[in-house]
Structure 1
Amino acid sequence: MGNPKDAAPLGSSTLSVVDNRTGKKYSIPIVDNSVKAVDFKAIKADKVPGEREENETHKGLRVADQGFLNTAVLRSQITYIDGDAGVLRYRGYPIEQLALHSSHLETAYLLIYGSLPTKSQYEVWSNEIAQHSIVHADAEQFFRSFRYDAHPMAILTSAFAYLGSYYQEANPSLQGQNLYTKGDPASLAVMDKQIYRLIGKATTLAAMAYRVRQGREFVTPPTGMSYTGSFLYQMDYLGQENYKPNPVLEKALDVLFLLHADHEMNASASSVLQVGSSLVDPFSAVAAGCASLYGPLHGGANEAVIRMLISIGKPENVPAFIEAVKKREKVLSGFGHRVYKTSDPRSFLVRKTADEVFRIAGKDQLLETAMALHDAAMKDDYFVSRKLAPNVDFWFVFVMLHSHFSLMFIQERSNLSCDGFPERLLPGALRRTAGCWMVGTLAAGVQMMLQSGGVKIWRPRQIYVGSGRRDYVRIDDREAVEGPRMTPSAVEHSGISKRTRLAAYKGKL
């Protein structure tokens, strides 16, 4: 950390810090425009009179960063994002070039292995993924065990963990904790096989989750089709001879997969890496990321957009909705982004894809409502001044609604509302789970397993602000503490639970 007595000279790659509690000066190295949080542990002071001992002042400063707004957890060579400039690059390649010229599987190879594949490399890669797309016959029983109205994301989260029970050779708990960290050919081969399995089976599991909700038989992955073509086939095939998905829709879905293949340390990626740092098997780690995608602030954002559009109903209701948003009575979904402060570069690419889909699928009232909302928000200073531009989730829904992909995302047994669209929707996280969102996560996982210095389990710190030391009080001598979150909420019981409470039986409390 340097000499705590003297600050570094001007122009050096260091950060000079003066602790006004002690008067000491510290020089902290700056590497790649970053400082190590652990370097601040050297900045210590004596406890002042009246200070809480839980502050642990003598153990050094802690860096507070609620929500990881400015904390880097690893060094990566995979994805670069400049949120202010609206830049997204995979391994240095602009996302715009990849979306125009590449495919999802080719981009997946790039993310995981660091370079675009040659023709022979791509053939091996795509063939392996196709061969590993078939799931064990027992999976049918597993999927049928869920309730008919189970949310597909709950099914998928369970399904990824379920896969881990089949492959004992892929589990470090059974094969040794250095299974994925040795970096020798045997270890890398085991790692690659799990990558084939996860990417290959992801679309199969997603299609099965969809079809179990429709009450349909499952479809074996076809041969000779593209990754997204196979996905559409598995979802929609009902026995027609020589069935082939529409090529425009197939390409549109491939672009969507590519655009969502990685997004640096988003919630799902960091969830997978957090869990993976314990050296658990990759299937369990991916299940954790899938659970993160389920959330409405992440993968569920697409579902929120569709719900919003259904609630608006028709274009003439947009002005009233806009005013309600300004009064904080309604929530505007699909605008703004945690990272991108100007525009999301992916949104332009999805919009271009949407235009191509519109030409064959046409438009309807929900689309007209979405476009009216877009136009109104973009002309309103309230949203413009707050940099609330449409993000990739908003334009993604355009493609979903008008390529009839929306049928993938609907619960058909629910009550119908606007123009026949069901109230209950399958979130857009499904398209991420279908083999695309995990690609960048797998790349980051490989990078973490093979990083210099080995894998260290992620263990964030906290700032304790709770009670100081308290002595135990016997239950008869305690006084009730009332207030929000100070006592459990009461639950209303009915049916069998209420009747059981009224019944008499041995051992009743």
Structure 2
Amino acid sequence: MGKPVPATSDTSNTLSVRDNRTGKTYEIPIEDNSIPATAFKDIKAPAAKDERPENETDKGLRIQDRGFLNTAVMRSQITYIDGEAGVLRYRGYPIEELAVHSSHLETAYLLIYGSLPTASQFRIFQDEVMHHSIVHADAEQFFRSFRYDAHPMAILTSAFAYLGSYYSEANPSLQGQTLFTKGTKESLAVMDKQIYRLIGKATTLAAMAYRVRQGREFVIPPTGLSYTGSFLYQMDHLGQEDYRPHPVLEKALDVLFLLHADHELNASATTVLQTGSSLVDPYSAIAAGCASLYGPLHGGANEAVIRMLISIGKPENVPAFIEAVKRREKVLSGFGHRVYKTSDPRSFIVRKTADEVFKVTGKDELLETAMALHEAAMKDEYFIKRKLAPNVDFCGLIYRAMGFPLDFFPVLFAVPRVVGWLAHWRQMMLQPGGVKIWRPRQIYVGSGKRAYVPVAERVAAEGPKMSPSPIEHSGISKRTMLASFRGAKAKM
């Protein structure tokens, strides 16, 4: 693969690469409009005079792709995105059709198992997910151990990892590393049970994170309600008889969950796969994905949008904000996307869902500001040239109208995304050829071999990035440093 080939070979579906260092030509096979990165390892050359040995020139070329801008790490059948055309499909089904005709749990089945379920298949799947929504009674102590002001994403991330401690049968470290990769009937059954547990308990863990912040007692998942209906019940029920969430809010949350269920190999899905490639238990892998989603460049964007709108205030302040963004004095959240270069297809569904919610809750006071910002940005050449179209993160206005606190927005993203994470994890576990641990290469540009220097002979490195930052201490730390005791450092 990638080695020099005779001139008579068929090169109709290959990439010809000439290495000008050696004069050799290599034919690299093209399959599904992609080339294997490992083929470039065969393109070797003698090291140039005075070239750093750390370049490893004689060991073959490496592919440098900072941030995975154009590197495919999986062959997947799950989600297709065309960022230029604004297309998003789950297993071939357009997101627009699923949002109208399907539900979050039915779409979860589709993403995980590859096809829309029959009535009997869906009944089994739904019953199992809802049955496995209850958590062990000891979980109450775990949640109560957090500070009253702990961020709910910190709680949820910890809770997913904590959950894995209950299920030794789901841990390949204990049951053997082929636990999930064998593909046997027994192996698939174990895998499915963890999928039921994680999807079912995701809403319960999130609701517990919500209620611990409110100082409320926890609620056992009810029977007879939908997935999102049960979630709203667990968050809001305070003992009222025959309590049922409002159907419009229940449906809106279900649609938003469906829209957020998967988005191909985004940062958090990639984190799940990176972690899962070590064959760790799925609970640890999902906890890692949850931690990745926490960041403001990913799941935290919803929260960032609302904070931005709050900082803008009224619609008349939008022009000044736009100019500040162009001067790079302010950050524009909710516009632009790593994949979508025109419009995010989910944003149109979000807009329709918002209208339905606002009829019940009343319009959010920031809506006019958001619309003014949208209109101004779409007409401004600065944003048009950079293809900064509005994206799905404006669904935060819906969450705000429904009464969710700002810092709970990422949780509302994480709960449905558990489905996509599990779909990709399951696909990787069952892929032909087994699982290879993900171990990317690096381009080493640091120092060459250096001799150890005794401390008395060292010269301090210059620059703010070359030494640790001093910390200003106060309170008990400062008083302790001033105190005298055995072993205390001599005071200067």
TM-score, normalised with respect to structure 1: 0.94
Q: Is 1:501 the counterpart of 2:481 in the alignment?
A: yes
Distance 2:83 2:327 in 1: 28
Partner SS, residue 485 of structure 1: helix
CA-based RMSD of the aligned residues comes to 1.2
Partner of 2:246: 246
Q: Is 1:178 the counterpart of 2:158 in the alignment?
A: no
Partner SS, residue 88 of structure 1: strand
Once the two structures are TM-superposed, the CA of residue 364 in structure 1 deviates from its matched residue by 3.8
Partner of 1:90: 90
Partner SS, residue 111 of structure 1: helix
8 A contact 1:8–1:14 mirrored in 2: no
Partner SS, residue 213 of structure 2: helix
Any idea what the Cα deviations from partners look like across 1:473-501, whole Å, max 9, x if unmatched? 11111111121211110000011101111
8 A contact 2:41–2:59 mirrored in 1: yes
Any idea what the Cα deviations from partners look like across 1:263-292, whole Å, max 9, x if unmatched? 110001000000000000000000000000
- The farther-off stretch of 374-383 and 307-316 is 374-383
Any idea what the Cα deviations from partners look like across 1:139-167, whole Å, max 9, x if unmatched? 01100000000000000000000001000
8 A contact 2:202–2:418 mirrored in 1: no
Any idea what the Cα deviations from partners look like across 1:166-190, whole Å, max 9, x if unmatched? 0011101111111001110111000
Partner of 2:450: 470
Any idea what the Cα deviations from partners look like across 1:273-320, whole Å, max 9, x if unmatched? 000000000000000000001000000000100100110111121111
Partner SS, residue 365 of structure 1: coil
8 A contact 1:7–1:27 mirrored in 2: no
Once the two structures are TM-superposed, the CA of residue 98 in structure 1 deviates from its matched residue by 0.5
Residue correspondence of structure 1 range 105-504 to structure 2 within 5 A:
105-394=105-394, 396-402=395-401, 404=402, 407-408=403-404, 410=405, 425-434=406-415, 436-504=416-484
Partner of 2:28: 28
Structure 2 CA distance for partners of 1:10 and 1:320, relative to 1, 3 Å: farther
- The farther-off stretch of 449-458 and 358-367 is 358-367
Amino acid at match of 2:487: G
Amino acid at match of 1:397: G
Distance 1:321 1:3 in 2: 56
Amino acid at match of 1:426: D
Amino acid at match of 1:400: Y
8 A contact 2:2–2:40 mirrored in 1: no
8 A contact 1:315–1:369 mirrored in 2: yes
Any idea what the Cα deviations from partners look like across 1:196-229, whole Å, max 9, x if unmatched? 0000000000011011111111111110000000
Distance 1:32 1:457 in 2: 23
Once the two structures are TM-superposed, the CA of residue 11 in structure 1 deviates from its matched residue by 6.5
Distance 2:397 2:178 in 1: 46
Any idea what the Cα deviations from partners look like across 1:372-417, whole Å, max 9, x if unmatched? 21122222222122211110002x1222232x2xx32x2xxxxxxx
8 A contact 2:3–2:42 mirrored in 1: no
Distance 1:183 1:121 in 2: 20
Distance 2:9 2:335 in 1: 45
8 A contact 1:7–1:16 mirrored in 2: no
Distance 2:384 2:68 in 1: 26
Any idea what the Cα deviations from partners look like across 1:6-34, whole Å, max 9, x if unmatched? 46878711000000000000000001000
8 A contact 2:152–2:210 mirrored in 1: yes
Instruction: State percent identity of aligned pairs.
Output: 76
Any idea what the Cα deviations from partners look like across 1:351-371, whole Å, max 9, x if unmatched? 111111122222142222112
Structure 2 CA distance for partners of 1:129 and 1:364, relative to 1, 3 Å: closer
8 A contact 2:218–2:234 mirrored in 1: yes
Once the two structures are TM-superposed, the CA of residue 2 in structure 1 deviates from its matched residue by 5.2
Structure 2 CA distance for partners of 1:478 and 1:311, relative to 1, 3 Å: same
Any idea what the Cα deviations from partners look like across 1:212-259, whole Å, max 9, x if unmatched? 111111111110000000111111111111111111111110010001
The unaligned stretches of length 5 or more in structure 1 are: 411-424
Partner SS, residue 143 of structure 2: helix
Structure 2 CA distance for partners of 1:225 and 1:446, relative to 1, 3 Å: same
Distance 2:9 2:357 in 1: 60
- The farther-off stretch of 267-276 and 478-487 is 478-487
8 A contact 2:180–2:188 mirrored in 1: yes
Partner SS, residue 166 of structure 2: coil
Distance 2:57 2:237 in 1: 64
Any idea what the Cα deviations from partners look like across 1:81-118, whole Å, max 9, x if unmatched? 11101111111111111011000000000000011001
8 A contact 2:276–2:285 mirrored in 1: yes
Distance 1:199 1:8 in 2: 55
Distance 1:331 1:147 in 2: 31
Structure 2 CA distance for partners of 1:266 and 1:2, relative to 1, 3 Å: closer
The unaligned stretches of length 5 or more in structure 2 are: none
Equivalences, count: 489
Structure 2 CA distance for partners of 1:17 and 1:8, relative to 1, 3 Å: farther
- The farther-off stretch of 363-372 and 52-61 is 363-372
8 A contact 2:263–2:420 mirrored in 1: yes
8 A contact 2:2–2:39 mirrored in 1: no
Amino acid at match of 1:442: L
Distance 2:8 2:14 in 1: 7
Distance 2:212 2:381 in 1: 46
TM-score, normalised with respect to structure 2: 0.97
Distance 2:420 2:474 in 1: 47
